[in-house]
Amino acid sequence: METRNIGSLKVSIVGLGCNNFGRRLDEKATADVVDAALDAGINFFDTADVYGETKSEQYIGQALGSRRSQVILATKFGNKIDDQRYGASPAYVRQAAEDSLRRLGTDYIDLYQLHVPVPEVPIEDTLGALNELVQAGKVREIGCSNFSLDQLREAESAVAPGGARFVSLQNHYSLFHRQPERDVLPECGQKGISFLPYFPLANGLLTGKYRLGKPFPEGTRLQSPRGAELLSEDNLKIVEALIEFAESRGHTLLELAFSWLASQAVISSVIAGATSPQQVYANASAANWQFTQSDFDAVNAILAPKN
């Protein structure tokens, strides 16, 4: 599989999002998905301390075992685990890192990310603590997630001379959520910051499971008030047009969703969750369509009603 850089790290263009581990998947099912990802050539695993109430990190560490060196492990801190564990103060950054290292069963984290902005803590304080972890060899690179353009620029300007800087930004981005194109995506391109899109399949809307005029699958996560909004008739009409376009090029909707993202140079890895080995293999092979400018133009025309 193609690899790209996140700072000094080389990651597979398709990454494995690990938010299902410890929540929808138990230890055995997690191990099956991890094995499939490695078999499919995926080396980038993205988790967070809060996923699965900390079980995601634990299950990943157990599933990898002696294969730790074969993967690029990314995790996050900052979101609230409980009343004692949250935030971005220097003391908590150090504590959270040690906790994640222990759960992951490793002595270093490849990419350590601030999960959400924490306005009450000066970003220079957080960056200082993260730099200490880098200097100690406990973290290789640092990144951020869910940052606005102003927050990204503030962080960039707060880096101490010679200190570690955020080399990646992980935000929501898909064919149905293009907000990053207005601000943070161009900034990342200009500053050499890797962009890592999460929810690339728009919570399942871009998997091909939901079709206009056809019954929806039972037990899906889109069967909720928020899901009903996403599954509007207008959105489903766009999905049908995207399917027609993809098939006219000899591809599937899944390949369109992944490849549209992967064809942008600023994107280093498309992060998608999976609950089965079959999903892993489908995702791993989906970024195989190199978009031309005419492809981008055609997709923009289909999506025009949403813009």
Q: What is the pLDDT of residues 247-256, one digit of tens each?
A: 999 999 999 9
Give CA–CA dist 24/163, Å, rounded.
Answer: 39
Structural domain includes residue 298? no
Give CA–CA dist 209/154, Å, rounded.
Answer: 41
Structural domain includes residue 237? no
Q: H-helix or E-strand containing 13? A: none
What single-letter DSSP state applies at residue 217?
A: P
Structural domain includes residue 76? yes
21 contacts 123 by C-beta, under 8 angstroms? no
Torsion, CA 245, CA 221, CA 202, CA 30, rounded to 10:
-100
Residue 148 is part of a domain; what is its CATH number? 3.20.20.100
Structural domain includes residue 125? yes
pLDDT under 50: residue ranges of the chain = none
Tokens encoding 129: 């603590």
Give how far Cα 166 sits from Cα of 8, 71, 153, Å: 12, 20, 10
Structural domain includes residue 213? no
Terminal-residue alpha carbon distance, the chain: 33
Domain that holds residue 114: 3-208+255-290
SS3 content of the chain, % helix, strand, coil (to 5): 45, 20, 35
Q: What is the pLDDT of residues 35-91, one digit of tens each?
A: 999 999 999 999 999 999 999 999 999 999 999 999 999 999 999 999 999 999 999
Structural domain includes residue 222? no
Structural domain includes residue 178? yes
Structural domain includes residue 299? no
Residue 9 half-sphere exposure toward CB, CA atoms < 13 A: 29
User: Would you please indicate which residues are annotated as catalytic (active-site) residues?
Assistant: 51
Number of domains within the chain: 1
pLDDT at 210: 83
13 contacts 260 by C-beta, under 8 angstroms? no
